[in-house]
Amino acid sequence: MADVTEPLDERIAAVAALHDGARLSRTGLFDLLAEDVEWWVAGPPDAFAWAGTFHGHDGVRRWADALNAAMDYTRFELLEIFGAGDTVVEIIGAGGTAHATGRPFESEVVRIWTFRGRSAVRVRSFYDTSAYAEALAGEKRDSGDSPARLDRGLPGARLLRDACPGIFPKGARSIGAHLSRHPDTMRYGASDDRVVHLASPT
């Protein structure tokens, strides 16, 4: 049987509806994920138990349990969401403290959802891994260091272009500029300045 095509605006609405305060709705999440979903999270798996590739619903549950065991989120706010074709991209403002040290962390998270029909078959998450590492280790970032130079997890424009060719063609030098020239790209609450900051050319 052929996959039922889900309208893009319904896919965007389904992803946006997952946000419930500082947590994702687990019930809604598993309703949205394909049984064989590939869930990938940036970061070194030897340092972050929640980093790497997880398969299927059981794998996503292991990811969520590992992340929640290490980090206590007090903020997981949807800032922007947009998409085209089979892809939805959301930008999240996240923050909280590490359980082991009590030190705070803050990061913007870029999550890329790939759909087949009504279900997400691949989900990739990028974030400022150095902010998480510093919170876990109890180390403080030097005030002279910029977040951009310390960032190890957020995607550059080239990566986003390769990951989302239906949204950002190879000729686009910045994500924000492309969105401003192509208003037909589905997006809700998108701030071009914020997207350019996250996806400055690499």
Encode pLDDT of 54-97 as tens digits.
Answer: 999 999 999 999 999 999 999 999 999 999 889 999 999 999 99
As a whole-number percent, the residues of the chain with pLDDT over 70 amount to: 64
Burial 169-189 (b: 16+ CB within 10 A, else e): eeebebbbbbbeeeeebbbee
CATH architecture type of domain 8-189 = Roll (3.10)
pLDDT mean over 33-48: 95
- pLDDT value of position 20: 73
User: What's residue 193's pLDDT?
Assistant: 33
Q: Where in the chain are the domains?
A: 8-189
Neighbour count for residue 157 (Cβ, 10 Å): 22
Give the confidence band of 5 by pLDDT, cuts at 50, 70, 90.
low
What span, in angstroms and rounded, lies between the C-alpha atoms of 175 and 161?
8
In whole angstroms, what is the distance from residue 148 CA to residue 196 CA? 13
- The better pLDDT of the pair 181, 127 is held by 127
Instruction: Please tell me the predicted confidence (pLDDT) of residue 115.
Output: 96
Q: How confident is the model at residue 165 (pLDDT cuts 50, 70, 90)?
A: low
Dump pLDDT digits (tens) for 88-118: 999 999 999 999 999 999 999 999 999 999 9
Alpha helices in 55-165 (DSSP H): 56-70, 129-137, 147-150, 157-163
Phi, psi of 56 (to 5 degrees): 70, 175
Q: Residue 143 pLDDT more than 70? A: no
pLDDT at 146: 40
Banded model confidence at residue 24, pLDDT cuts 50, 70, 90: confident
| Pairing mode of beta strands 33-41, 119-126 | parallel
pLDDT, residue 23, reads 73
Nearest residue to 182 via CA among 105, 102, 48, 85 = 85
